[in-house]
Structure formats: C-alpha cells, structure tokens
Amino acid sequence: MHELNNCDGNPRESSPFINNTDDNKGNLYDGKNMALFEEEMDSNPMVSSLLSKLANYTNLTQGVREHEEADEDEGAKRQTSPQMGTFIGVYLPCLQNILGVILFLRMTWIVGTAGILEAFIIVTMCCSCTMLTAISMSAIATNGVVPAGGSYYMISRSLGPEFGGAVGLCFYLGTTFAGAMYILGTIEILLTYIVPNTAIFKAEEKAEEADALLNNMRVYGTCCLTLMALVVFVGVKYVNKLALVFLACVVLSILAIYAGVIKTIFEPPVFPVCLLGNRTLQNHGFDKCMKTEIIDNVTVTTKLWSLFCKGPELNASCNEYFSLNNVTEIQGIPGLTSGVISENLWGSYGPAGMLVEKAIPSVPASDASQDKHMPYVVNDITAFFTLLVGIYFPSVTGIMAGSNRSGDLRDAQRSIPIGTILAIATTTIIYLSCVVVFGACIEGVVLRDKFGDSVKGNLVIGTLSWPSPWVIVIGSFFSCCGAGLQSLTGAPRLLQAIARDGIVPFLRVRTHQICLISPLFHLVKLITVWLVFGHGKANGEPTWALLLTAVICECGILIASLDAVAPILSMFFLMCYLFVNLACALQTLLRTPNWRPRFKYYHWALSFLGMSLCLALMFISSWYYALVAMLIAGCIYKYIEYRGAEKEWGDGIRGLSLNAARYALIRLEEAPPHTKNWRPQLLVLLNLDSELSVKHPRLLSFTTQLKAGKGLTIVGSVLEGTYLTRESDGKRAEQSIKSAMAAEKTKGFCHVVVSSNLRDGFSHLIQSAGLGGMKHNSVLMAWPASWRQSNDPQSWKNFIETVRETTAAHQALLVAKNVDSFPHQERLAEGTIDVWWIVHDGGLLMLLPFLLQQHKVWRKCKMRIFTVAQLDDNSIQMKKDLQMFLYHLRLNAEVEVVEMSNVRCMHTARWLDS
C-alpha cells in the first residue's frame, strides 16, 4: 500500500481493491460505477475524512452559510469553492427534511384509522407526487448551470417573473407554516409524553381536555417560537453546529423502530391495554385492569371501579355499560407474527367523540352517546380519507432541501438528481414498510389511539422501538426542534431572495414614493419595505424578515392543532410542486431551443402526470384550502402582471403565449370573419412634431374610450427620410408613442415607418399593418389643422390621398375633428352623442356611439339619431321605421327626422354637382 496526496495536501491510502486511475487534471477516480458513499470518497476515501465531513455537516442553505461566515474573519478566509458531494450535500439534507414530525406523531394513527390498504394508497399517492416532481426538478437542474438560489431560482427562471413571484411567496408561506407545524409537534411531544405535569391549563372534566390542550399548545408554542427566533437572530452558526445532532436523532429513531420490529418476533414488549367490553380505556387513573380483586380472602373494588361507580362499595350504583360488560386485558404490541395484520387491513373512520372500540363478535355495538364523559379513548377530530391525505402529505415534503443548496455543491447537475431521487426512494421504502409493520405489530385500538392514552400515555410509535420508548420520544423531540429552527432560518432568506429579484412591485417601493399614497396605505407599505429590506446586522442577516416570518408562524401556532396546520402547508407545497412540473412540461411541449436537459429519464408525460397529481391532491386534501391558495397565487400573479415586472428571464409562459398567438392567427386565416364578429380594429395614424412627440395625444384617449381595451389597436406614424439615416429617430419615436400610449392607457401595438414622404408612409401603413387575420379594418386620424391657411398644399393633399386609399382598401375611416377638445379622463355628467345617419353605412354609425357609451367617460350620455327626409318622403313613417330598426338592433336612442325645404334641396344638389 502506498501513499498519495489529496487535493488538500493530506496523504491518503490507496486500497489494493480499487483500480485508481489518474486523469488529465491530476485527480484520482475509479473506473467503475460506484455507489453513493463511494462518490463521497473519490477524493477522501479514508474513514476519518468521511467522519470529518459529517462533523461539518449542515442542513442550511448557501445564503445562511455566507452570513454565518461573514461574522468571522477566519470564516471568510476559509471560504473556498464548493466541495460538497451528493451524499453530504443533497442526500442527507433531503432525508432529514422528509423524515419528521408526521412519521413520529401521526403515522400510527393514520394506519389505524385508514387501515393498512388505504394508508398504503395514501403513502403511494404522496410519494409518487414527490418522485415525479423530483424527476422534473432534475431535468431543470441539468438544463445548464445551476447557480445559488435553488428551487425558487429554478421556478422563477423557468416560468417567468409573474409565476416566480406568486409561487415564490407561496413557497415562503409553506416554509413558514412548516415551522409552525414543527413547533406544534415539539410542544405536543413535550406536554404529552415528556413532562405532562407542566401543563398550565388543566381540565376539570373530560369534555374540557381538548380546549385545555389547545390553550397549552398556544402558550408553550409561542414561548418556543420566541426562543427559536432569538437563537436564529443571535446567530445561525449555533443552528448549524446542532445540524449533525438533529440528523443523528432522525437516523437513530428510524433504526430503533426497525430494531423493535425485529425484537417483537422473539419477545414482544409488554404494553397491556384494558378493554371494557369492546371499548378502550384510558390507562391513567388505575393500575389494575379488573373490577374487583381478592385481598386476604376479601373481595374489594379497584381504582377502575371508582371511575365508573359512585362509591367503592360492591353494591354502589355503577354505569350501566360497566355493569353489563367484563373487563379484559390484551397486549398492545402482539408482535410481527401474531396475525393482527388481518384485523388492521381496513380502517375505522368516525366523527369526533367516537369511541375507539375493538371488533369483538361476542360484544354487540352499543350507543356511546351518553358515556363520552367516562374514561374511554375517543376520536378528537372527525376522521375521513381526504383529511388523512392532507395531514400526511407534509411528511413527504422537503425534497428541495438539496436544490436549495445548489451553490454549495461540487457538481450540482449531477448531485441534485441522484441525491434527491435516492432520498425519496429511501423515504418511500421507509414509509411503506412502516405502514405494513405498524399494522402487523400493533393492536388496532392502540393504532387509533392518537396520544397513547391506552398504553399509559406512551408515544405509540415509541412502544414499538428498542431498547426503550424514550429513544423515539427524545429523538423525535430534537428532530422537531431542528426542523423548526431550519424553517425559521430558511424562510426569511427566501423572502429576501424574492425581494432582491425585484419581481414583486410592492416589495421594491421606496419611501419617497409613498408620500403620494393615503396615510393608511402609506403605513402598510412603509412597514412592508422595512420588513423586507431592513438589515439588523452588518453581514446581511434579514432580521426584519425574520420578524415577519415569526409573526406569520405565530398565526399557525394560534391554530394550535397539528392536524389543522398540516393541510395548510400541504396546499402551498403542492402548488410549488405543481408549477415545477408545469415548467418542465411547457418547456418540452413548446420545443424551446434552450431546453436541453441532460437527465435522460425525463419525459414531458411524467411532468404532466405529476402536475395532475399535485392538483388532484390539493382538492382531495381540502378543496377550500386549495381554492384559497390558488386565489392568493392568482392575486399575486395579476398584481405583478398589472404593475409590470422589471425582470425578463425568457420564460416558458411567454413561449406558450407565442404558440397560442400563432395558432389563433392561423385559425383566423382559414375563413373570413362573419359580420356578427365584426368590431372596429383600429389603425391610428399619429403626427409627430419636430421633437418626435405626439401632436394630438387626445386621439389616443379617444381610441381607449372607443375600444375599451378590447380588439386590435395599431398606433402608427411616419418619419420622412431614409431608414439608414433615421433608424435612431425611429426608435426614439416608438418610445415616445409608447410613453403616450401608457399615459393615455391605450393598449395596442406601435409601428413607426420611415419613408421618403408622408403620403407613401401612410399608404404603406394602411396596406401592411397587422399580421395575417389580425389586421385593421378601420383607420382613425385627426382632422388636419389650419389646412386652408397652409402655404403648403401638400398638407391637405396628403389628407385627401389618405381618405382615397382607405376607401380603396375597403376600410372604414374615422376622422376626429377638434380632437384636442375631446374629453380625457373626466366623466361627462350629461350630454348627447348625435349621429347623422347614412342609410348605406352598414350600421357603423350606430355601433360607434354604442361602443363609446360602454366607457365610463361617455356612460351617462344619451344617443340621438338624426336622419334627413326629402319633401316627398313620409317623415312620420320614416321615424317609426327607424325606431323599429333600432329596436331590432337593441339600441336605445332618440330618433329625430329633419325635413329638407326646397331651398336646402337646391343648395345640396348644387354642392353635390360641384
């Protein structure tokens, strides 16, 4: 055996069983496909080096580590290129985040309530959802360089700033509520299994136990949240130093469970359960499972007797059910070979307050409505299948723990897919095996006993562990504490990353902009700005964001029920996973040129299946929570879209819009539009002054009022000259027109043409503006000003030629005279829109006033229709016919018939002849 030098200068030993080969870079590698542990040992195969890495293990994100190292000068000097591999950097963090509070506190209850078969289905659905999401996430991770930023970066850069902001904030809320769930789990373990006597609120009657427990959870949860927030505020390095301890607690707890399962084959643990008839009793107030006992040849009553009878005497009046049924004792943990698995195949759902009973053929079902105050084990909540799905799903979250630390990985494109998928596969095997072994080893009434009251207040999963139930109790306690600290550490930095991206407009508001807002809104936005951008420490720690996270987390703690908080965070995580799958499916179906993932096991159908499964689980878990979560995400999306996101990342949603637009244009070309679908599609011809500013901005206001933001609007203008010399002027003119359109709230497209003269330029616009079926059918322009006094006859000739070319193109022409006097944004309190109707206009003169009345500016104006009657016309009949015509058109308007005299007729005839 000979010595070789590592990259860090330390000698290492080379095993004679490994064929070490030197590559061009001087690094050593083995020429075979090695396992996960061997990948970690590529550079440091010695056990001592692996232990050294484990000693420096952290489950914190990259931004947290940077803030930690900024506190120490030596830490900044120690900072080198990322050296974490798959096992330490991805596999272990994902494993630690996935295995958690639900496994220790609710898994046995879910198996007992749903039964082995339905619990197996629940676990399979949830794990399939996360596995499909991991495959999509692996495709994103292998599609180019993955910088620091993790899952939020991948979602936002794939789906764009609007979806990035919406999903990012939902992911932040999910992480924050996860912290509340872990804290509630910590307090439940503390008050129920470790020190139950420290409860502040104590119930005098059995009916008050649930309320007392919730109040204790609120008080202790708030204290625990405050303590954890202080620890994170003081320094995350203390959280980091305990990361290995928390990981060890999880691993040792899992090993203790499997060791206990194996031990039950040979020697099942002794945890007797006392049954009265078929009802399970709370094993707290008595020590012997019998009604009477013989002491010194004298029959005396036990403590159990005093719980059901009014006195210790043998002739005392007792509860009817107690008198009619015998007391029996069964083993709570009969063991793996006991055959109890057949009894636990099917579950037992029921309402809150339902007694936990064992199916005994000799004991008929009874009415327990009058006995709920007796010391029986009862359901604390109404249980049903969909509720269990929502409660269980948080136990499979945490799959993004590896991708969140992408900046710390030596090879993120390789480590994220392998580590995440292996972690999900490992936890899936653990969960599915736990469903089977719990149902095969534990009595059904004990499984359905959520808090272990039937086994003297022991943690149910702890009764199965070896060597002692305290291994699981202590391990799960520290595991929940660690998960809560990590949530309070990661959530503020996620919010900080979203704020720094600048994609959510209200997060980037500056204080000098707020003075224009109302005082209350002023205060709210000012608080928001400081909460996000305030830095309490010089190293960039988001102190005020931590305060905001703690406030939101406190809302979850005030709910005080782990079973009520779990479905809430399930919604936010499911929505995040849904959009990860959506991003991959869109990129593949749109055939984006930049979408070239190296992950070869990816297919768009898997992403689509994962997206559908996420959506289904959202509504299965809680349809009203799902609607609320989607409403929150939708409001954030529309807000960012309305205010306009400054970032542009070339996302898939814009590619989808492009494909949809192309498809719609092709469909429009297939057949000419029907008259019922006709609406004015406007080409607005603007004139620019010497400074390239719009001469008549009110023409854009009139366009907005006429279109009400619907239909096609193309705003065009012409610059005289050649394109080579006036290219920059053309871009400036476009920006000027776009600014005017934004000021007048005109939605449409802008097009500036450079031509040798104005007449040809406007002709080109009339002929070529639009694309395919999306072409204009009407031209809107302003009446030429002072054209009679103009020394240049070309001004009115251009106008006349434009009118003639519009007519030749069979398009409607709208000319706004004195457009600068048209109303802007102010609403008209009264007035009329007068229409001098020409019979052969096709109804356009009727339609335009109606469209104007749809806008708030003209809404209170009335429409009047004037028509001209010749001397030989019947004006009364004409008015009736026109009114009937308007009735069929469903238009409300006053009709006026103007009769022409002979003189007017002669003048009109002369004018027409000229």
SS3 track for 498-512 = HHHHCCCHHHHCCHH
* 838 burial type by CB count under 10 A (0-12 exposed, 13-18 middle, 19+ buried): exposed
SS3 state of residue 298: strand
Separation of alpha carbons 69 and 71, rounded Å: 5
CB 380 within 8 A of CB 481: no
pLDDT of residue 521: 43
531: pLDDT strictly greater than 70: no
CB-based contact 681:777 (threshold 8 Å) = yes
pLDDT tens string 449-467: 999 999 988 999 999 999 9
Decide which of 905 and 317 is more confident.
Answer: 317
402 in Cβ contact with 123 (< 8 Å): no
Sequence-ordered list of residues with C-beta below 8 angstroms from that of 401, at least 6 positions apart, any chain:
59, 90, 93, 94, 96, 97
Separation between Cα atoms, residue 848 and residue 860, nearest integer Å: 15
Distance CA 304, CA 319 (A): 12
User: 801 vs 687, 781, 807, CA distance in Å?
Assistant: 16, 13, 10
Structure confidence by residue, pLDDT tens digits, 177-196:
999 999 999 999 999 999 98
Strands 682-686 and 327-331, bridge-based pairing: unpaired
Give the model's confidence band at 54: pLDDT under 50 very low, under 70 low, under 90 confident, else very high.
low
d(C-alpha 871, C-alpha 862), whole Å: 29
Q: What is the mean pLDDT of residues 231-255?
A: 84
Question: What residue type is assigned to position 442 of the chain?
Answer: I
pLDDT for 46: 57
Question: Which pLDDT band, with edges at 50, 70 and 90, does 913 fall under?
Answer: very low
Average pLDDT, the chain: 80
Spatial distance between the Cα atoms of 706 and 679, rounded to a whole number of angstroms: 11
**How far is the C-alpha of 846 from the C-alpha of 170, rounded, in Å?**
49
**Domain 54-265+384-621 superfamily per CATH:** Amino acid/polyamine transporter I (1.20.1740.10)
pLDDT higher at 674 or 328: 328
Phi, psi of 749 (to 5 degrees): -115, 150
When pLDDT is cut at 50, 70 and 90, the band that residue 505 belongs to is low
Which token pair is 438?
């719990």
Query: What does the pLDDT read at residue 745?
Result: 85
- Average pLDDT score over residue span 122-143: 92
| Confidence label for 444 from pLDDT (cuts 50, 70 and 90) | very high
Please name the residues in contact with 217: beta carbons below 8 A apart, sequence gap of 6 or more.
Answer: 184, 187, 188, 191, 557, 560, 561
pLDDT score at 641 = 75
* 566 CB burial (10 A radius; 0-12, 13-18, 19+): buried
Contact 633, 167 (CB under 8 A): yes
- Tell me: pLDDT of 475 over 50: yes
Residue 22 vs residues 27, 35, 40, 60, 708: alpha-carbon distances, Å = 6, 20, 17, 34, 71
Q: Which 8-state DSSP code applies to residue 278? A: T
- Is the CB of residue 787 less than 8 Å from the CB of residue 664? no
Q: In what order do the strands lie in the sheet with 862-869?
A: 832-836, 862-869, 894-899
Which of 3.60.15.10, 3.30.1490.20, 3.40.50.620, 3.40.50.1460 is the CATH number of 677-825? 3.40.50.620
For residue 78, the model assigns a pLDDT of 44
772: its two tokens: 């395919």
Q: What is the CA radius of gyration of the chain?
A: 38
pLDDT confidence of residue 513? 39
Residue 364: the pLDDT is 60
Three-state SS sequence of 833-898: EEEECCHHHCCHHHHHHHHHHCCCCCCCCEEEEEEEECCCCCHHHHHHHHHHHHHHHCCCCEEEEE
Q: Which of 117-131, 403-417, 463-477, 660-674 has the lowest mean pLDDT?
A: 660-674
Beta strands 778-782 and 812-816 are: parallel
CA distances from 871 to 904, 906, 908 (A): 11, 12, 13
Of residues 679 and 211, which shows the higher confidence score?
211
Instruction: Taking the CA atoms of 381, 382, 383 and 387 in sequence, report the sign of the dihedral they define.
Output: negative
Q: 831 φ, ψ to 5°?
A: 135, 175
- Of 102-116, 369-383, 777-791, 813-827, the poorest mean pLDDT is in 777-791
Q: Which of 401-405, 859-863, 909-913 has the lowest mean pLDDT?
A: 909-913
Q: What is the pLDDT of residue 645?
A: 59
Q: How confident is the model at residue 14 (pLDDT cuts 50, 70, 90)?
A: very low
Task: Provide the token pair at 828.
Answer: 């008209």
Among the residue ranges 98-102, 722-726, 848-852, the one predicted with the least confidence is: 848-852
Average pLDDT over residues 349-375: 75
Point out the least confidently predicted range of 487-496, 526-535, 700-709, 782-791.
Answer: 526-535
Please report, for residues 157, 190, 677, 866, 913, the alpha-carbon distance to residue 846 in angstroms, rounded to integers and kept in the order given: 49, 77, 16, 11, 28
Domain extents in the chain: 54-265+384-621, 272-331+350-379, 677-825, 828-913
Q: Which two tokens stand for residue 587?
A: 């990129």
Say if strands 682-686 and 713-720 run parallel, antiparallel, or are unpaired: parallel
pLDDT bracket for residue 425 (50, 70, 90):
very high
pLDDT of 405 higher than 80: no
Give the mean pLDDT of 433-454: 94
Residue-level pLDDT at 426: 96
Average of per-residue pLDDT across 328-343: 92
Q: Taking the mean position of all CA atoms in its chain, how far away is CA 382?
A: 28
Q: Residue 717: what pLDDT? A: 93
Q: Is residue 754 classed as helix, strand or coil in its secondary structure?
A: strand
Reply yes or no on whether the pLDDT at 506 is more than 90: no
The mean per-residue pLDDT over the stretch 93-102 comes to: 90
Q: Rounded mean pLDDT of 557-577?
A: 92
User: Which carries the bigger pLDDT value, residue 263 or residue 32?
Assistant: 263
Q: How confident is the model at residue 650 (pLDDT cuts 50, 70, 90)?
A: low
Count of other CB atoms within 10 angstroms of residue 321: 18
d(CA 293, CA 602): 69
What is the mean predicted confidence (pLDDT) over 490-501?
Answer: 81
In this structure, the number of other CB atoms found within 10 A of the CB of residue 563 comes to 20
Contacts 24+ apart (CB under 8 A), 368-371: 368/279, 371/319, 371/321
Three-class SS of residue 372? Answer: coil
pTM: 0.76
Q: How many residues does the chain have?
A: 914
